Amino acid sequence: MDINKIKSLRDSTGLSFNEIKEALTKAGGDEIKAKEMLHNLGVKMAAKKSSREVKEGVVESYIHNTRKVGSMVEVMCETDFVARNVEFQKLAKELSMHIAAMKPGNLEELLAQSFIKDQDITIQDLLNQNIAKLGENIQIGRFEVFSL
């Protein structure tokens, strides 16, 4: 098993070593096929958790260095334990930056947009990855863009 492939997939998906190893084995060592399998696993995990109530979370903001545009977003999760997690807070910050840059009109449009830091995935894919990584339902609540 190629440790570099495992490390690469771990960095991009955040999933466990065993899940990645299993996907690589099933894909015959093909990293692209394994990544697709892991993506599908993340979607399945997100679907399972989607009915869980989200009653915790964070409100995150971003102000561009020009101070002419900013955003605020509510990112919800199930427990305060996850809300305090560094990875969850990083997700909230990246979402606030994305919203300031792309200015989506509504949640549906936001979820369908390509993520500005990785054009190969959508915001929905980013959420699914974090749901799989953190083990809780994660949803985007309200958001607003402010610009001059």
Q: Are 139 and 71 part of one and the same domain?
A: yes
Query: Exposed, middle or buried, 13 (CB in 10 Å: 0-12/13-18/19+)?
Result: buried
* CA distances to 7, 8, 122 from 4, in Å: 5, 6, 25
Q: How far apart are CA 67 and CA 74, in angstroms?
A: 21
| Structural domains of the chain, count | 2
User: Which CATH number fits the domain that encloses residue 123?
Assistant: 3.30.479.20
Q: Are 30 and 68 part of one and the same domain?
A: no
pLDDT along the chain (148 residues), means of 10: 73 73 81 78 71 90 96 96 96 98 97 94 92 90 96
Q: Are 81 and 129 part of one and the same domain?
A: yes
What pLDDT does 24 receive? 79
Six token digits for residue 90: 């990083």
User: Which CATH number fits the domain that encloses residue 23?
Assistant: 1.10.8.10
How much is the pTM?
0.76
Tell me which of 49, 68, 87 is where a domain ends: 49
Q: Are 84 and 116 part of one and the same domain?
A: yes
Q: Are 31 and 62 part of one and the same domain?
A: no
Q: Are 73 and 41 part of one and the same domain?
A: no
Q: Are 44 and 64 part of one and the same domain?
A: no
The amino acid that residue 36 corresponds to is E
Closest CA to 146 of 57, 59, 89, 73: 73
Task: State the Rg of the chain over Cα.
Answer: 16
Give the torsion through C-alpha atoms of 40, 46, 49, 53, to 10 deg: -170
Is residue 133 within 8 A of residue 125, CB to CB? The reply is no
Q: Are 65 and 45 part of one and the same domain?
A: no
Q: How far apart are CA 127 and CA 108, in angstroms?
A: 13
Six token digits for residue 46: 């997100």
Q: Are 84 and 34 part of one and the same domain?
A: no
Strand partners, 70: 63, 146
Q: Are 13 and 42 part of one and the same domain?
A: yes
Q: Are 61 and 101 part of one and the same domain?
A: yes
Domain span at residue 97 reads 56-147
Q: Are 29 and 102 part of one and the same domain?
A: no
What pLDDT does 124 receive? 95
